[in-house]
Amino acid sequence: MKQILQNLSDGQILLEDVPIPKNANGNLLIQTQKSLLSTGTEKMLLDFGKGSYIEKAKQQPDKVKMVINKISSDGLMPTIDAVKSKLNQPIKLGYCNAGIVSASSCTEFKVGDRVISNGNHAEFVRVPKNLCAKIPDNVDDESAAFTVLGSISLQGIRLLNPTIGECVVVFGLGLVGMISVQILIANGCRVLAVDYNSSRCNLAKSFGAETVNLSEGQDIIQTAKSFSRNRGIDAVTICASTKSNELIHQAAEICRKRARIVLVGVTGLNIRRDDFYKKELTFQVSASYGPGRYDPSYEEEGTDYPVGFVRWTEQRNFEAILDMLSSGLLNVEPLISHRFEIDDAKNAYKALDDPKSLGILLNYPRRYEEDLNKIEHSIAINNSFNAIKGKPVIGFIGAGNYASRTLIPAFKRNDCNLKTLISSGGVSSVYHGKKNGFKNASSNAQSLWDDNEIDTVIIATRHNTHAELILSGLNSNKNIFVEKPLAISHDEIDSIEQTFLNKNLQLMVGFNRRFAPLIVKMKSLISKIKDPKCFVITVNAGHISSDHWSQDPNIGGGRIIGEACHFIDLMRFLAESKINNYTLVGLDNNQYNNSINDTVSINLSFENGSFGVIHYFSNGHKSYPKERVEVFCGNKVLQLNNYRDLTGFGWEGFRKTRSLKQDKGQHACVNEFIKSLKNGKDSAIPIDEIFEVSRVTIDLSESLKN
């Protein structure tokens, strides 16, 4: 299918052929009929992409700080590679979509329903149910495509809470501003619309607003004073986009005492206290379509808010806009300035630079009339692929940051046959598949299990999917390399262990730190000492928001299972002995109103008398080293900082070694896995250690609940 993407590094618009997404639980697969370009958000992204690296940095100073911190911890070149990788990866464009349901995994919608969604510009989109709404029969697809944008206008107005007869000013007459004008007038308000564009001012007049045409030198202050009958404006909604702080000042200046100002667009926010203090004005920023936006439980998991407590969610705002379109209170036909076919997408984006452009619609042909169950979710992206005999044939599931920047290049360096790359939405599999020479890109993991040529599968997906994918792979007689963790429950580990023991296959978890060059050096030094050893591993992990998927016990398993497992494995490797006792103590997060406990100390003891502590802390400062490993043994000490500096204290013949760049052993980990496949040897990590570490990690995580 065709999908519109943008390369952020140069702003280039791409029309790519990508796999049709496979539907997921709680989602709809929608065949697009129309989609609407956002003259605000998409124009901003277009301009951002065209800017130089310096211009991009100026627009995102917070990201610059993150880059500086990464340089201090990881080194210059890895940071440059990471920034380039982020900017070169194409992003999906669009969020105003109207189409027909092709597949549904929820009871609220059925196949054949006409729906709107915040889906991208693509022939098929997969969208969670709470981000969709049914289109009334008397609303055409072109009008319906304005729904999501209209909901942005509506949410800003809900925050204004206007009453009949109030005087309201709308700054900015783009699509959001134009729709805001109509909604306010339908609400019984008197509207004064402000813009530099004469044709847009005239259009606002046709909807019933009075206007201030700034290009003609009209005075907003005097006009607003007259418009409000010398009482001052009751409310202001700002739908414009500007870096200037002057617009906020003007809005405050025209308001009466205790008036309301809501920001829907983008402005400078250096607010003058005196403007707001004297009049006791209220100022609020509107968050997109309404309550539920950016809440994973609402948007991704489909958990609705009780209507008795949250009357207007983003989905219910969608429905309200559709009702206004159906009743004729909202008319978007005059807002349409351009129509393009999806194949002419590049010219559609050029139209964004036309001052006369307003509503730019994309039309999609019905190319998929056949049974959708027969549609392939895979496409060929490299016709020159020929498998080299004697080398593993690889299928990859997952094309996120770690997979694309680390794992895929590591397997490519080992001259593996990279055959099929799977990503949930299909876009990442095409981009990274082409970049790394894969034969196929797909959105359906079943294509790996059915391919007899593929003998090895790499799993780099969210943690709750690992066990199911491992079992599918083992039952399809595939060797498995899974990015940590192995699983997130004991039942899953039991199933994997039972299945694996009946197979003559390789199973390896990506515990890469044991393969880091300076860890290998450390191990060679301490292995000569037979005395028990003491370990201190300090991880300055940093804060991750409690609503991040990795913190969800049902998806990521939490940070102990998802991340601390690395360091349990590392200590197990250095101790060269089974773990015979383990305990965990964590901060009492109730004192901080935080339900996530990811600041803990883990104590491990081993059968050979060694013991150690893992300090996994999320409450430190970024300037402190992220990871430190210390070993005390035989009246000697080794200290490793960030896998770059290894220092010895009391070691004859060894004092210090430093690497030019950080190396956590990712490439060496993959190298050893491939060697074991080629040579028919046992796993590079003994399988009993993999199961041992995985079970201990889950026990420790569960102890937090007690």
pLDDT tens for each residue of 157-209: 999 999 999 999 999 999 999 999 999 999 999 999 999 999 999 999 999 99
One-letter amino acid of 427:
V
Owning domain of residue 339: 2-146+332-363
Contacts of 413-416 spanning 24+ positions with Cβ under 8 A: 413/667, 413/670, 414/670, 414/671, 414/674, 415/388, 415/391, 416/391, 416/392, 416/456, 416/674
Question: SS3 sequence, 160-178?
Answer: HCCCCCCEEEEECCCHHHH
Shared-domain flag, residues 280 and 351: no
Does 222 share its domain with 107? no
12 has a pLDDT exceeding 90: no
Mean pLDDT of 289-303: 93
Strands 27-37 and 124-128, bridge-based pairing: antiparallel
Q: Are 613 and 539 in contact (CB under 8 A)?
A: no
User: Rounded to two decimals, what is the model's pTM?
Assistant: 0.86
Number of domains in the chain: 4
Domain boundary pick from 307, 340, 363: 363
Specify the 3-state DSSP secondary structure of 227: helix
pLDDT at residue number 593: 45
Q: Could you tell me the CATH number of the domain that includes residue 546?
A: 3.30.360.10
Instruction: Provide the pLDDT confidence category of residue 592 given band limits of 50, 70 and 90.
Output: very low
- What is the pLDDT, as a whole number, of residue 51? 65
Instruction: Report pLDDT for 201.
Output: 97
pLDDT confidence tier of residue 67, bands split at 50, 70 and 90: low
**Do 6 and 120 meet the contact criterion of CB atoms below 8 Å apart?**
no
Indicate the angle between helix axes 517-526 and 565-575, nearest 10 degrees: 30
For the ranges 124-133, 294-303, 579-588, the maximum mean pLDDT occurs at: 124-133
Can you tell me the distance from the alpha carbon of 102 to that of 31, in angstroms, rounded to the nearest whole number? 6
Q: Do 621 and 475 sit in the same domain of this protein?
A: no
Say if 653 falls within a structural domain.
yes
Whether residue 690 sits in one domain with residue 543? yes
Q: What is the dihedral of CA 271, 274, 277, 280, to 10 degrees?
A: -70
Residues 564, 692: one domain? yes
Based on the fold, state whether residues 555 and 698 are members of the same structural domain: yes
Does any domain span residue 369? no
Helix axes 565-575, 687-703, angle to 10 degrees: 130
In a domain, 300, yes or no: no
Quick one: 191 and 65 in the same domain? no
Per-residue pLDDT band at 591 (split at 50, 70, 90): very low
- Torsion sign over Cα 239, 242, 247, 248: positive
- Residue of 39 and 150 predicted with greater confidence: 150
CA angle 304, 310, 316 (to 5 degrees): 65
Residue 7 sits in a domain whose CATH number is: 3.90.180.10
> What pLDDT, on a 0 to 100 scale, did the predictor assign at position 59?
58
Q: What was the pLDDT predicted at 386? A: 80
Q: What angle do CA 456, 458, 460 make, to 5 degrees?
A: 170
CA distance 393 to 417: 5
Residue 301 has a CB neighbour count (10 Å cut-off) of 15
Q: Is residue 293 part of a domain?
A: no
**Token couple for 672:** 């050893």
CB-based burial of residue 423 (10 Å sphere; 0-12 exposed, 13-18 middle, 19+ buried)? buried
Last residue of a domain, one of 477, 511, 545: 511
Residues with Cβ < 8 Å from 693, sequence gap 6 or more? 511, 565, 568, 569, 572, 579
pLDDT 10s digits, 509-532 = 999 999 999 999 999 999 999 899
Residue 317 in domain:
no
The pLDDT tens digits for 209-239 are 999 999 999 999 999 999 999 999 999 999 9
Cβ atoms of 662 and 513 within 8 Å: the answer is no
Q: Which of 511, 533, 563 is the last residue of a domain?
A: 511
We report the CATH number of the domain holding residue 463 as 3.40.50.720
Q: What is the chain's length?
A: 706
On whether the CB atoms of residues 474 and 503 are closer than 8 A, the answer is: yes
Strand order in the sheet with 534-540: 579-586, 600-606, 611-617, 534-540, 627-633, 636-641, 645-649, 656-658
Pairing mode, strands 636-641 and 645-649: antiparallel
- Per-chain mean pLDDT for the chain: 91
Please indicate whether residue 681 or residue 108 has the higher confidence score (pLDDT): 108
* Between 40 and 286, residue with greater pLDDT: 286
Distance from C-alpha of 173 to C-alpha of 238, rounded to nearest angstrom? 10
**Alpha-carbon distances, residue 266 vs 3, 73, 166, 241, 360 (angstroms):** 28, 34, 24, 5, 21
The amino acid at residue 318 is: F
Residue type (1 letter), 477: N
What pLDDT, on the 0 to 100 scale, is given for residue 7?
A: 86
Q: 167 pairs with which residues across the strands?
A: 190
On whether both 487 and 623 belong to a single domain, the answer is no
Arithmetic mean of pLDDT, 393-403: 94
* Sequence-ordered list of residues with C-beta below 8 angstroms from that of 374, at least 6 positions apart, any chain: none
Distance CA 482, CA 398 (A): 11
Q: What is the pLDDT of residues 447-483, one digit of tens each?
A: 999 999 999 999 999 999 999 999 999 999 999 999 9
**Of 507, 493, 425, 430, nearest in space to 463 by CA:** 493
Residues 125 and 42 in one domain: yes
Among 56-60, 102-106, 281-285, 452-456, name the one with the lowest average pLDDT.
56-60
Report whether 661 contacts 645 (CB < 8 A). Answer: no
**Helices (H) then strands (E): counts for the chain:** 25, 31
Distance of alpha carbon 20 from alpha carbon 18, whole angstroms: 6
Residues 506 and 517 in one domain: no
pLDDT in tens, 630-640: 999 999 999 99
Predicted local distance difference test score (pLDDT) of residue 589: 59
**Pairing relationship of beta strands 507-509 and 479-482 according to DSSP bridges:** parallel
Other beta carbons within 10 Å of 137: 8
Its sign, for the CA torsion 273, 276, 279, 282, is negative
Residues 6+ apart with CB under 8 A from 468: none
Token code pair at residue 431: 């981009």
Average pLDDT over residues 132-139: 98
Band (61; pLDDT cuts 50, 70, 90): low
Longest Cα separation, the chain: 91
- Asked whether residue 316 is domain-assigned, the answer is no
Residue whose tokens read 């913190």: 551
Kindly state the percentage of the chain with pLDDT values over 90: 76
Check whether 19 has a pLDDT greater than 80: yes
**What is the pLDDT, as a whole number, of residue 383?**
81
- Record the tokens describing residue 670, joined without a space: 């993959």
Domain-embedded: residue 463: yes
Distance CA 386, CA 36 (A): 42
Q: Give 604's strand partners.
A: 582, 612
Q: Are residues 91 and 117 both part of a single domain?
A: yes
Q: Is the dihedral of CA 146, 149, 150, 151 positive or negative?
A: positive
One domain, residues 472 and 592 = no
Q: Spell out the residues 6+ positions from residue 705 whose beta carbon is closer than 8 angstroms to its own.
A: none
In a domain, residue 301? The reply is no
